[in-house]
Structure 1
Amino acid sequence: MKKDYSSFFVPGIILVGAVLRIPFTTIPTVLSYVADGLGVSVNSLGILTSIPLIMFAFCSSLAPRLADKFGLEKLFTMVLIAMFIGSSMRVINLPSLYLGTMIIGVSIAMMNVLLPSVILANQPLRIGLLTTVYTTAMGLASSVASSVAVPIVKMTSWKGLILLLSFLILLALVVWFPNTFHNHVTEKDEEAHVGSLWKNKRALALLVFGGLQSLLFYTGMTWLPTMASQAGVSSEAAGILASIYSLISLPFSLTIPTLATNLSSKNRKIMLAIVSACGIIGTGMLLFQSSNFVYWLLVNVLIGIAVSALFPYLLVAFSMKSHTPSQTAQLSGMVQSGGYFLAAFGPTLFGYSFDLFGSWKVAALCLFICTIIMAVALFYTERFEKIL
């Protein structure tokens, strides 16, 4: 009798979701400790926060081809092993810190793409619920890890923190590993039905939507506190705004995937219209500067609602708008590759615009226009039940 490994699937998804961001999002909070430990300047380590995004941009498209070769669950296991090795080697020296971060970036890029396909292959009737599960685990783990990182470093060292993160990855690997024996291998002829995604207008529209959603999120996370401070808000209040911007994602990660998969097409469009309007109003408010805390609180809440709701919707859309796990992986790989390319360079160009023009007006106007284009692309894709 063939052994049933299905009981390991949901716990595995939860733990994978929990470690999907913390290996690199936790490090910026303790960057000064890492710099002191290695005897280098903090500025020289600034690229550590950009490396994963760059890897997301250039490596996401590899996941579908590798999944066709090895199978979904087996590739997932291989990626978790690589992620554990990459995380652990960061404690050796400065070159290994950079190399390990690159390996982590490649690993997470693969898992970002594979997760919707893995869920569709194993639990096609629970796409919304399981997307809720792993996005919530991802958000909670990131919040908790960021809040306890400094105390852990003070109790041990920065190496102790990284080794603890590596242990959590190992734990996720151990729980996930039994799923390898229920490996889904893509049929050879499935890819022929997909055609060239780069010639598919609906897929390109989803790429534009996903890319601009990522750009809006990472630009807001990087620059909203600075913009508020320069407008006259205290640094302490700006820190509170940054926390609100991050924490607002939790209720939406709990509700949006299930709503997106259960609402009728008409009601889903109404929900997305409200969310998109929040983003447009929030970015529009950036065109007007104010020293009022409540004003900036409203800006952060409105933009936070938009990016926090649209991200889990995008993850669900990969499965909803494709027929097979292979198509889901290819669509996810294409959209996330282009999306993270925009996310990696968007915040940099946003900051450069301030240096060039001496104010945030031009950058804010560009972000406002990008948000409108994002909404247009979103509703273009919503016209079609399936993209592939």
Structure 2
Amino acid sequence: MTSTAFPDGPFHGRPLVAALAVAALMLAAANLRGGIVVVGPLVEQIRQTLAISASAFSLLTTLPLICFGVISICVPALTRRWSPQVLAIGGLLLISLGVGLRLVDHYPVVLLGTLLLGAAIALLNVLIPGLVKAFFPRRVGLMTGLYSVTLSVGAGLGVFLAVPLMELFGSWRHPVALWALLPLFCLLFWLPMLRVRGVGRPSNPVRVSLWRDRLAWAITFYMGLQSFYFYSMATWLPKILLESGLDGHQAGTATALINLVSIPFNLFVPILAARMRDQRILVLGIFVASLSGLAGLWWQPAAAPMLWASLIGVGCGSSLSLALSFFVLRAANTAQATALSAMAQSIGYLLAAAGPATLGLMRDLGGAWQGALLLMMVLQFLQFGFGWYSARSAGVVADQDR
């Protein structure tokens, strides 16, 4: 199934409005990670201000992932009551509120803000693939690629700007506050989207259920396993390399490559996927890159750490972009795309939340990283199998369509 099978979107013949819609989608994507990751480089300053332990601080990064899993499944029900544009605006306001609460010198309030932030991001995570389908049905590959790139760039800026802004203004609150203000700026582009016709809440909303569809489950597990893979590697790769004898600078540079190398693949994989009826060759290439990187890390991590990290980055970036592409390429309409996105991201991020803890436990029990890396390689074979099934030229079938 390709995007060309669908009619023109609501911006046909209106290039200026289409450009405004592109800006709205990309600015929303830029806000989906920065408010979470910005606290990572500021850990010591925030811990001192709040007087909390390292385990208490870890909740500020793990709670959003749990929210992604729990809240995502509720989004299709919300779209039957409110239009996607209204929900997107509400999500941006909640991001601003959630990040703002994380500036308060009271840990319970910070946790509340973290929960609101995670819930808002989960809402937008699910909505955006459906909006891409509705706004640009003939450009789903390009728009999904741009969305993936913007997501990565937003996360990268959140980490990159954290310390310089703190040093410039003398407080960790300034880099965090930036991510409370940016969603409000996005509203300038989203408010005009309320006037776009043909995308709002249907007059007779129908509940779309994909829980009995095999293809939907395959896409769900592909999404889940690639999320497990990414968050596990992003968390533990520095530790693995440090224990192999590398210094902190080398370990940090190699870990940064995971995100840097993934950016061009974030863009081009969805474009290629949209032009293919069958994406199995992409699934195979992703599998080879990921397995090679993990095998090198398992065999001798210090031998070529930059190469291993680059291969892992290719696999992580490409698999995320392909999973996002499946949400729109395997759905017949916006309602199906939203339901598939909700199902896959709900289970996917719950799996992702368990990834770092699972690898850390295996390291503690085994005294080395070989067992944990072997598990990751085994899971790559499972991810490959689900991806192979998902990449066939087919579409999901909802219960009411059976």
Where on the TM-score scale, by shorter chain, does this alignment land: which range? over 0.9
Judge which range, 144-153 or 367-376, deviates more. Answer: 144-153
Residue in 2 that maps onto 1:77: 89
Q: Residue 218 of structure 2 contacts residue 389 of structure 2 at CA under 8 Å; is this kept in 1?
A: yes
Specify the alignment match of 1:37 in structure 2: 49
Match of 1:285 among 281, 296, 299: 296
Structure 2: runs of 5+ lacking an equivalent:
1-13, 398-402
Selected match of 1:383 from 381, 392, 401:
392
**4+ long deviations beyond 6 Å:** none
State the alpha-carbon separation in 2 of the partners of residues 167 and 344 from structure 1: 28
Q: Is the 8 A contact 2:280 2:392 kept in 1?
A: no
Matching of residue 160 in structure 1 with residue 174 in structure 2 = yes
- Offset, 1:290: 4.3
Aligned to 1:317: 326
Deviations 1:252-277 (A, max 9, x none): 12211111111352xx3223211211
The match for 2:342 is: 333
Preserved contact between residue 280 and residue 387 of structure 2 (Cα < 8 Å): no
- Distance in 2 separating the partners of 1:190 and 1:67: 9
TM-score normalised according to structure 1 size: 0.93
The 5 A counterparts of 1:249-260 are: 249-260=262-273
Q: 2: distance between equivalents of 1:252 and 1:162?
A: 29
- Given that 1:381 and 1:387 are in contact with CA atoms closer than 8 Å, whether structure 2 keeps it comes out as no
Instruction: Give the corresponding residue for 1:61.
Output: 73
Could you tell me how far apart the structure 2 residues matched to 1:338 and 1:290 are?
31
| Correspondence for 2:129 | 116
State whether residues 90 and 97 of structure 1, in contact with CA within 8 Å, keep that contact through their aligned partners in structure 2: yes
Partner of 2:308: 299
Equivalence map 1:1-388=2 (5 Å): 6-93=18-105, 94-156=107-169, 157-182=171-196, 184-187=199-202, 191=206, 194=208, 196-265=209-278, 268-292=279-303, 294=304, 296-388=305-397
How many angstroms apart in 1 are the aligned matches of 2:206 and 2:380? 33
SS at match of 1:350: helix
> Aligned partners of 2:282 and 2:216: how far apart in 1?
21
- CA shift for structure 1 position 282: 2.1
Q: Secondary structure at the match of 2:160?
A: helix
Question: Does the CA-based 8 Å contact 2:144-2:324 persist in structure 1?
Answer: yes
Q: Is the partner of 2:85 in helix, strand or coil?
A: helix
The one-letter code of the counterpart of 2:314 is I
Cα offset, 1:222, TM superposition: 0.8
Report the secondary structure of 2:298's partner residue.
coil
CA distance in 1, matches of 2:213, 2:140: 24
Q: How big is each residue's C-alpha offset from its partner over 1:271-321, in whole Å with a ceiling of 9 and x where there is no partner?
A: 3211211112222334323432x2x22221112111111111111110110
Cα contact 1:212–1:370 (8 A) shared by 2: yes
User: CA 1:302–1:6 in structure 2 vs 1: closer, same or farther (change >3 Å)?
Assistant: closer
| In structure 1, C-alpha distance between the alignment counterparts of 2:285 and 2:259, rounded to whole Å | 20
After superposition, the CA RMSD in angstroms is 1.9
| Between 105-114 and 83-92, the greater mean CA deviation after superposition | 83-92
